[in-house]
Amino acid sequence: MSEHLLTELTVFILAVFVGLEVISKVPTTLHTPLMSATNAIHGIVLVGAILVAGTATQTLGPVVGVLLVILASLNVFGGYTVTERMLQMFKPRATPGDAKK
């Protein structure tokens, strides 16, 4: 195994532990938003999509390239919008007819 791959594996494994630690603190009430929020986060693959489809070395051809960027952007923008919509519904007390705070 190359030293390079080993460094990347280290980053990966540490991030898994951080993930487990942080996620285990999320209450069950917020599990759907959590799922949606992490869903938006894996939209980070858009970074890869831009690099693969947009740089001079791109090999997928224009049609697949655009499709790739569309898929990844759908994931990012849809994911964050849905999460935001869910989260703004969670209210500590009933505030009938009054949307302040």
Q: Name which of residues 27 to 86 contact other proteins (CB under 8 A).
A: 27-60, 62, 64-86
* CB neighbours of residue 82 within 10 Å: 16
The least distance separating other proteins from the CB of residue 100, rounded to whole angstroms, comes to: 14
The least distance separating other proteins from the CB of residue 10, rounded to whole angstroms, comes to: 10
Buried b / exposed e over 15-33, threshold 16 CB at 10 Å, is eeeeeeeeeeeeeeeeeeb
The least distance separating other proteins from the CB of residue 59, rounded to whole angstroms, comes to: 4
The nearer residue to other proteins, 4 or 100, going by C-beta atoms, is 4
Question: What is d(CA 33, CA 39) in angstroms, rounded to the nearest whole number?
Answer: 9
Asked if 101 touches other proteins (CB under 8 A), the answer is no
The nearer residue to other proteins, 89 or 100, going by C-beta atoms, is 89
Question: What is d(CA 46, CA 65) in angstroms, rounded to the nearest whole number?
Answer: 12
